């Protein structure tokens, strides 16, 4: 079995951050989202991996992932010139995929518990497609699957106005080579895209065996600012282990599950977990509250931060309370000598804010 990760797209909903970084490389608990996907694919025993990239951000993906040796995997990069749909991405990768069954995984999704059992179910039953589904409340935002009593999918509808189910298609699939014929048959949707849901429906219409696997754990789509903050909160809460490798002076207090990586220095500060602080940071006379991730090389002084994602090489000085914020790399947030209350910020890379 091969794997195909979709790491293209323009990340429009996360601009200005995605002007200088691929959305799949944004950090959750100080680890790029795409790396969680690669870890789970490796855990499932798949080592031949194709990554769909876009002209805009492909170079960032290549630089971050490299040749795949970190995951003992062979990586093939496949350029999708335009974002013309998930099924179009599969069509673009057809030479790489050949006649192999393949796992398809959206590169900006996070799921709890990995995909080992999902892959094992496919290997046991050898369907033409196995679709990962999750119960959702906002059914109008997703492709929705309808199942028979045996768990076979008999209908998929994209963003239905009157849904007959609450089971959403969430961006993880395994296909047999039969999907290529289905993709060749379908036409672009009203959006001008080749939709993977139409391809699955074509498999169903031609009497192919399309099975379902319902995810019990959490699933997180990181496509918007609030989604990214929520993903950071959930992953810190669920996966973070206490691991202190930096320097902490006697005037500082560490409470709860806190990760402090090598080279970081904490002085006269309180860190209340879950918190992840990357390498070579300086935290002085500050409070870092729950559900915060701080990127490498960042300096925080006389400030209070919680429920935020701070990328690398930032300076945050004299900020009374920073909450629910995402700060792009190389950003300076500095308050002059005046007083006011909480800030809510969404800043791109290399910005400077003086308050």
pTM exceeds 0.95, yes or no: no
Let me know: does 284 contact 303? Beta carbons within 8 Å: no
Which pLDDT does position 208 carry in this prediction? 95
Domain boundaries for CATH 2.160.10.10 within the chain = 240-354
- Give the CATH fold of the 240-354 domain: UDP N-Acetylglucosamine Acyltransferase; domain 1 (2.160.10)
pLDDT score, position 125: 94
Kindly give, in sequence order, each residue whose CB lies less than 8 Å from that of residue 179, ignoring residues fewer than 6 positions away. 90, 128, 129, 199, 203
Cα three-residue angle 321-236-213, rounded to 5 degrees: 135
Show Cβ contacts of residue 2 under 8 Å, excluding neighbours closer than 6 positions: 46, 48, 49, 50, 96, 97, 100, 101, 102, 103
Q: Where in the chain is the domain with CATH 3.90.550.10?
A: 2-235
pLDDT at site 345: 79
For helices 178-185 and 196-205, give the axis angle rounded to 10 degrees. Answer: 110
Model pLDDT, residue 341: 65
Cα separation, 266 vs 285, whole angstroms: 9
- Tell whether domain 2-235 is in CATH 3.90.550.10: yes
Spatial contact of 259 and 277, defined as CB atoms under 8 Å apart? yes
Q: What is the largest CA-CA distance in the chain?
A: 71
- Residue 106 has what pLDDT? 94
Question: What separation in angstroms does the CA of 97 have from each of 90, 261, 333?
Answer: 8, 39, 47
Q: How many residues does the chain have?
A: 355
The answer to whether the Cα torsion of 65, 71, 75, 81 is positive or negative is: negative
| pLDDT < 50 regions, the chain | none
Which pLDDT score is estimated for 285?
97
């Amino acid at each position: 079995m091969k794997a195909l990760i979709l790491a293209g797209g323009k990340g429009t909903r996360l601009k200005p951050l995605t002007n200088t970084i691929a959305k799949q490389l944004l950090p959750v608990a100080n680890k790029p989202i795409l790396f969680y996907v690669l870890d789970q694919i490796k855990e499932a025993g798949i080592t031949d991996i194709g990554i769909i990239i876009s002209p805009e951000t492909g170079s960032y993906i290549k630089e971050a992932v490299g040749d795949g040796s970190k995951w003992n995997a062979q990586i093939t990069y496949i350029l999708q010139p335009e974002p013309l749909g998930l099924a179009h991405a599969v069509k673009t990768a057809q030479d790489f995929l050949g006649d192999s069954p393949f796992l398809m995984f959206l590169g900006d999704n996070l799921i709890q518990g990995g995909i080992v059992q999902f892959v094992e179910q496919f290997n046991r039953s050898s369907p033409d497609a196995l679709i990962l589904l999750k119960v959702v409340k906002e059914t109008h935002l997703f492709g929705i699957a309808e199942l028979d009593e045996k768990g076979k999918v008999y209908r998929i509808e994209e963003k239905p106005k009157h849904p007959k189910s609450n089971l959403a298609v969430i961006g993880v699939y395994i296909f047999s080579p039969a999907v290529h014929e289905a993709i060749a048959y379908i036409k672009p949707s009203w959006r001008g895209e080749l939709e993977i849901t139409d391809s699955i429906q074509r498999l169903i219409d031609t009497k192919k065996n399309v099975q379902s696997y319902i995810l019990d754990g959490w699933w997180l789509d990181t496509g918007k600012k609030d989604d990214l903050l929520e993903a950071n909160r959930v992953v810190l809460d669920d996966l973070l282990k206490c691991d202190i490798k930096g320097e902490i002076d006697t005037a500082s207090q560490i409470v709860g599950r806190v990760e402090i990586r090598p080279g970081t220095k904490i002085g006269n500060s309180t860190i209340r977990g879950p918190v992840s602080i990357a390498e070579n940071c300086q935290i002085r006379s500050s409070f870092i509250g729950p559900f915060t991730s701080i990127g490498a090389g960042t300096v925080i002084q006389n400030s209070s931060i919680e429920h935020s994602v701070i990328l690398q090489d930032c300076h945050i000085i004299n900020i009374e309370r920073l909450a629910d914020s995402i700060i792009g790399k190389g950003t300076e947030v500095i308050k002059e000598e005046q007083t006011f209350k909480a800030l809510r910020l969404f800043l791109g890379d290399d910005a400077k804010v003086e308050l």
